[in-house]
């Protein structure tokens, strides 16, 4: 782990071999020993031994100096100079880096440097030249000695140079030691750093261990959760298995039962087979009988052949007849084709006549007057016959019902049996003298409906008006009369098809006409709104908000002659059946708003408006019309309404009376306007007249249905209503205008 100091193995470093101590301590001895050995060798080779020279000098085997090499230049293989040590091997460097003073394990470098010279010195026994006193020799020996001496001197000088070099080497080695020590210091510091790093790492290790522990705990927790989940799964799997077992048992049971059934069926089939076989046997018998019959028949056939021949001749005669008929048919076909053409022409004429009819229809409507009045008397109801204690103290038996009816009903007469336009009321009163005085009140209207008239009968006349609104007219139908006289029944009616009132019938009629006119290029859009005016406040019967709280404003558009009420729900109508649900919604909203004491529907006016806008793609014509179907509040007078001291009822009655008299005033003013064009029409006197302004003006068609109670007790109220209706009937309002726009 610890980083090692860099080895001084670079070849440019002087020496990185063994430590100084190893050099200084081991080398001299080694050299000495080597020298002695060499000397011994040489002594063995040489004939005569020379005394050792250089005693006390470093006992390193002498290396031949450059000078010496000069001397031995004749030798083929000169020794390597000692001054240039070989670069240390890696092994030697390692031993240095360990910082030990032990001698290098491999002494190859030193060995090589020391072992070579002896090999040379064996041939040149220079190292064995003694430096002691020279003894006198004889002749050639002396000369040789002198030579040797001079050579020794040169060797000595070379050795001195070597010693100097060695000194330099030593200095270099010391520098290396200093380097090594510095390295050692650096290493110690690194060691300290490494220790602190180790401490840090231990710390990290601890942290890691803690993390590991936390992970282990989490893992254990997860394992536990997993185990719980697995247990749960196992439980559900067991449940499933139990269910499957139960199902399997049930299925097995069913299969067994099925099997038994099949077995029974097989038995039955076997039985059938047996019966069939018996039948087959019988059939075979029958077949043999038939064969004999056939032989009889073939005889008969021969007889028939003869007859057939006769018939063939008859057929030829008939064929001739048929050809004659075919000729007749082809001539008839020609006639049919010409008739078809005629029919097509007639259809075309009929279409043109339809346009004329519509024009004439509206002309007739206009001639009839733009305000018309119908009178309808409702039948006596079972609820009317509930005997009062005064009239029949013991109650009435079923036989008395007819008698009771006669007794209770008012004396209405309908003299005009043909046109049904008149109603006569016969009343008797006591004169001042106490005599019974009979009075007859005659009234004539556009149409009088007797108690047995059905909703369909009433609608027959109204339907023409309803149709006018598809032609772009504003139409207004009022139901006027005292409470309980049948206004709501006339306008809304019952739930069945027979009892359906004018509103659903008018809507259905408009849809029907719109559908018919589709073939003539007309496309209509219809929408409906249903409002209530109670105590001069407008409420949305198809809305969602509370009653009497939201403020709705009436806005008239003089240009288009249309009226809008702000913030009310206008429902697009797509089918006539939709109207029934709108009526139910309105009724339920009114029921919610009613109090126990106050039946709201009879104390408020309701206005159903159907708006129609049509466009003819082929002619580019457009028209807008509206149909207002108004169920007015009960018209009974203040004293008859039984308000007593009830302030609320009093307020209601006053409000109703005000709005009804405002309606009368508007109609009267409209009648007078015919003479004075600048006549002011007091539409703003009540919410009702202001709302219906565009449907009451001279531009629209108005119908009032006066509903009458058949009861004698209501005779006075009925007379008042009849008088009001007569006034309205006598009013002539200007000509209705179609609201159409040019393409
Ligand atoms: N032509 C009729 N045939 C059969 N029943 C009728 C007829 N006209 C009215 N009725 C019945 O008479 C009762 C009173 O009628 P309706 O509620 O229409 O009177 P109304 O004038 O609208 O009274 P209100 O002013 O209280 O609303 C109802 O039960 C209704 O079904």
Taking the centre of ligand 1 as the mean of its atom positions, its distance from the CA of residue 708, in whole angstroms, is 10
pLDDT tens, residue by residue, 391-412: 444 544 556 777 888 888 889 9
Split at pLDDT 50, 70, 90, the class of 385 is confident
For the chain, what is the mean pLDDT? Answer: 77
Q: Any known ligand binding at 106?
A: no
pLDDT tens, residue by residue, 604-628: 899 999 999 999 888 888 888 889 9
Split at pLDDT 50, 70, 90, the class of 639 is low
For atom 26 of ligand 1, the residue with the nearest CA is: 602
Q: Any known ligand binding at 485?
A: yes
Q: Pairing relation of β-strands 371-377 and 412-413?
A: unpaired
Check residue 11 and report its DSSP letter: T
Taking the centre of ligand 1 as the mean of its atom positions, its distance from the CA of residue 258, in whole angstroms, is 65
Q: Is 80 exceeded by the pLDDT of residue 549? A: no
Q: Which residues contact 229 (CB under 8 A, 6 or more apart)?
A: none
pLDDT tens, residue by residue, 421-475: 999 998 877 777 777 778 889 999 999 999 999 999 999 988 888 878 888 888 8
Ligand 1 atom index nearest CA of 634: 25
4-8, 59-63, 263-267, 469-473 — most confident range:
263-267
The SS3 of residue 158 is: helix
Ligand 1 atom index nearest CA of 378: 1
Taking the centre of ligand 1 as the mean of its atom positions, its distance from the CA of residue 487, in whole angstroms, is 6
Q: Which two tokens stand for residue 45?
A: 């080779």
Q: Is 90 exceeded by the pLDDT of residue 133? A: no
For atom 12 of ligand 1, the residue with the nearest CA is: 486
pLDDT tens, residue by residue, 487-543: 999 998 988 999 999 989 998 998 998 888 888 888 999 999 999 998 888 999 998
Q: Is 60 exceeded by the pLDDT of residue 17? A: no
Q: What percentage of the chain carries pLDDT values higher than 90?
A: 39
Three-state SS string across 350-388, please?
A: HHHHHHHHHHHHHHHHHHHCCEEEEEEECCCCHHHHCCC
Split at pLDDT 50, 70, 90, the class of 737 is low
Taking the centre of ligand 1 as the mean of its atom positions, its distance from the CA of residue 490, in whole angstroms, is 8
Q: Count of residues for the chain?
A: 743
Better-scored residue on pLDDT, 737 or 281: 281
Q: Is 90 exceeded by the pLDDT of residue 217? A: yes
Q: Any known ligand binding at 434?
A: no
Domain spans of the chain?
20-195, 369-376+453-736
pLDDT tens, residue by residue, 651-695: 878 888 888 889 888 888 887 766 556 678 899 999 999 998 887
Q: Ligand 1 pocket: which of 488, 498, 652, 660 to mutate (most atoms <8 Å of CB)?
A: 488
How many Å is the maximal CA-CA distance in the chain? 220
Residues touching ligand 1 (Cβ under 6 Å) are 378-379, 381, 481, 483-489, 601-602, 634, 707
Q: Ligand 1 pocket: which of 384, 457, 458, 486 to mutate (most atoms <8 Å of CB)?
A: 486
Q: What is the pLDDT of residue 637?
A: 62
Ligand 1 atom index nearest CA of 491: 18
Taking the centre of ligand 1 as the mean of its atom positions, its distance from the CA of residue 492, in whole angstroms, is 10
Question: Of 517, 471, 358, 520, whose CA–CA distance to 738 is shortest?
Answer: 471
Q: What is the pLDDT of residue 175?
A: 93
Q: Any known ligand binding at 537?
A: no
Query: Is residue 531 a contact partner of residue 609, using CB atoms and an 8 Å limit?
Result: yes
pLDDT tens, residue by residue, 268-291: 999 999 999 999 999 999 999 999
pLDDT tens, residue by residue, 553-592: 999 888 877 889 998 999 999 988 888 888 888 888 876 6
Taking the centre of ligand 1 as the mean of its atom positions, its distance from the CA of residue 453, in whole angstroms, is 14
Q: Is 70 exceeded by the pLDDT of residue 168? A: yes
- The CA distance from 395 to 291, in Å, is 87
Taking the centre of ligand 1 as the mean of its atom positions, its distance from the CA of residue 565, in whole angstroms, is 29
Better-scored residue on pLDDT, 49 or 337: 337
Q: What is the pLDDT of residue 739?
A: 56
pLDDT tens, residue by residue, 169-206: 999 999 999 999 999 999 999 999 999 999 999 999 99
Question: Of 383, 670, 623, whose CA–CA distance to 523 is shortest?
Answer: 623
> 13: exposed, middle or buried (C-beta count within 10 Å: 0-12, 13-18, 19+)?
middle
Q: What is the pLDDT of residue 28?
A: 41
Q: What angle do CA 154, 157, 160 make, to 5 degrees?
A: 150
Taking the centre of ligand 1 as the mean of its atom positions, its distance from the CA of residue 551, in whole angstroms, is 31
For atom 27 of ligand 1, the residue with the nearest CA is: 602
Taking the centre of ligand 1 as the mean of its atom positions, its distance from the CA of residue 567, in whole angstroms, is 31
Three-state SS string across 292-359, please?
A: HHHHHHHHHHHHHHHHHHHHHHHHHHHHHHHHHHHHHHHHHHHHHHHHHHHHHHHHHHHHHHHHHHHH
The SS3 of residue 653 is: helix
Q: What percentage of the chain carries pLDDT values higher than 70?
A: 71
Q: Ligand 1 pocket: which of 376, 381, 505 to mutate (most atoms <8 Å of CB)?
A: 381
Q: In terms of pTM, does the model score above 0.80?
A: no
Residue 4: HSE in the Cβ half-sphere, 13 Å Cα cutoff: 10
Ligand 1 atom index nearest CA of 485: 21
Better-scored residue on pLDDT, 545 or 483: 483
- The CA distance from 446 to 477, in Å, is 14
CATH topology of domain 369-376+453-736: Kinesin (3.40.850)
Better-scored residue on pLDDT, 181 or 642: 181
For atom 9 of ligand 1, the residue with the nearest CA is: 486
Q: Which two tokens stand for residue 729?
A: 């009937």
Mean pLDDT, residues 15-34: 40
The SS3 of residue 442 is: strand
Q: Any known ligand binding at 24?
A: no
Q: What are the two backbone dihedrals, phi and then psi, of residue 703, each rounded to the nearest 5 degrees?
A: -130, 130
Residue 238: HSE in the Cβ half-sphere, 13 Å Cα cutoff: 6
């Amino acid at each position: 782990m610890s980083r090692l100091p860099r080895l001084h193995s670079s070849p440019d470093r002087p020496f990185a071999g063994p430590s100084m101590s190893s050099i200084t301590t081991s080398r001299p001895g080694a050299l000495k020993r080597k020298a002695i050995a060499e000397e011994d060798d040489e002594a063995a080779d040489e004939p005569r031994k020379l005394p050792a020279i250089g005693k006390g000098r470093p006992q390193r085997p002498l290396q031949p100096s450059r000078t010496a090499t000069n001397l031995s230049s004749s030798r083929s293989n000169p020794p390597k100079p000692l001054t240039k040590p070989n670069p240390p091997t890696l092994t030697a460097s390692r031993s240095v880096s360990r910082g030990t003073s032990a001698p290098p394990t491999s002494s190859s470098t030193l060995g090589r440097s020391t072992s070579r010279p002896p090999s040379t010195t064996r041939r040149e026994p220079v190292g064995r030249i003694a430096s002691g006193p020279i003894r006198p020799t004889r002749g050639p020996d002396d000369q040789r000695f002198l030579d040797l001496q001079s050579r020794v001197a040169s060797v000595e000088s070379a050795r001195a140079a070597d010693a100097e070099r060695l000194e330099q080497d030593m200095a270099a080695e010391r520098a290396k030691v200093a380097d090594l020590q510095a390295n050692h210091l650096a290493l110690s510091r690194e060691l300290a750093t490494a220790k602190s790093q180790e401490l840090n790492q231990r710390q990290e290790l601890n942290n890691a261990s803690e993390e590991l522990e936390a992970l282990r705990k989490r893992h254990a927790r997860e394992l536990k959760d997993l185990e719980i989940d697995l247990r749960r799964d196992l439980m559900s799997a067991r449940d499933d298995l139990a269910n499957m077992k139960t199902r399997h048992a049930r299925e097995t049971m069913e299969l067994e039962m099925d099997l038994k059934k099949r077995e029974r069926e097989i038995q039955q089939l076997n039985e059938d087979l047996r019966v069939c076989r018996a039948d087959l046997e019988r059939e075979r018998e029958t077949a043999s009988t038939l064969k004999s019959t056939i032989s009889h028949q073939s005889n008969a056939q021969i007889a028939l052949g003869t007859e057939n021949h006769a018939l063939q001749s008859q057929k030829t005669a008939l064929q001739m007849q048929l050809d004659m008929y075919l000729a007749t048919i082809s001539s008839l076909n020609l006639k049919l084709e010409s008739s078809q053409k005629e029919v097509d022409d007639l259809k075309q004429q009929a279409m043109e006549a339809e346009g004329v009819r519509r024009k004439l229809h509206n002309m007739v409507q206009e001639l009839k007057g733009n305000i018309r009045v119908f009178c309808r008397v409702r039948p006596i109801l079972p609820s009317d016959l509930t005997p009062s204690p005064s009239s029949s103290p013991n109650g009435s038996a079923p036989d008395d019902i007819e008698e009771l009816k006669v007794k209770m009903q008012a004396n209405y007469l309908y003299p005009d049996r043909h046109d049904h336009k008149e109603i006569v009321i016969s009343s008797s009163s006591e004169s001042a003298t106490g005599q019974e005085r009979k009075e007859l009140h005659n009234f004539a209207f556009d149409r009088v409906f007797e108690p047995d008239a059905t909703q369909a009968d009433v609608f027959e006349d109204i339907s023409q008006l309803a149709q006018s609104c598809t032609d772009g007219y504003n139409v207004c139908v009022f139901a006027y009369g005292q409470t309980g006289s049948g206004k709501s029944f006339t306008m809304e009616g019952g739930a069945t098809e027979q009892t359906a009132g004018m509103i659903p019938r008018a809507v259905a009629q408009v849809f029907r006409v719109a559908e018919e006119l589709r073939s003539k290029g007309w496309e209509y859009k219809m929408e409906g709104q249903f409002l209530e005016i109670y105590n001069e406040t407008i409420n949305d019967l198809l809305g969602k908000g509370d009653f009497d709280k939201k403020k709705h404003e009436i806005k008239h558009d003089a240009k288009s002659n249309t009226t809008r009420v702000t913030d009310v729900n206008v429902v697009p109508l797509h089918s006539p059946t939709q109207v029934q649900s709108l009526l139910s919604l309105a009724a339920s909203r009114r029921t919610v708003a009613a109090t126990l004491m106050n039946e709201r529907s009879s104390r408020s006016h309701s206005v159903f408006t159907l708006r129609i806008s049509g466009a003819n793609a082929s002619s580019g014509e457009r028209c807008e019309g509206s149909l207002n179907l108004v169920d007015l509040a009960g018209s009974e007078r203040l004293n008859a309404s039984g308000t007593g001291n009830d302030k609320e009822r009093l307020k209601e009655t006053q409000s109703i009376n005000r709005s009804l008299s405002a309606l009368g005033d508007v109609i009267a003013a409209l009648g007078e306007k015919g003479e004075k064009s600048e006549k002011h029409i007091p539409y703003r006197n009540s919410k009702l007249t202001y709302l219906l302004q565009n449907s009451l003006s001279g531009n629209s068609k108005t119908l009032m249905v006066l509903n009458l109670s058949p009861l004698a007790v209501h005779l006075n109220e009925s007379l008042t209503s009849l008088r009001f209706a007569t006034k309205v009937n006598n009013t002539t309002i200007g000509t209705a205008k179609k609201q159409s726009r040019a393409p």
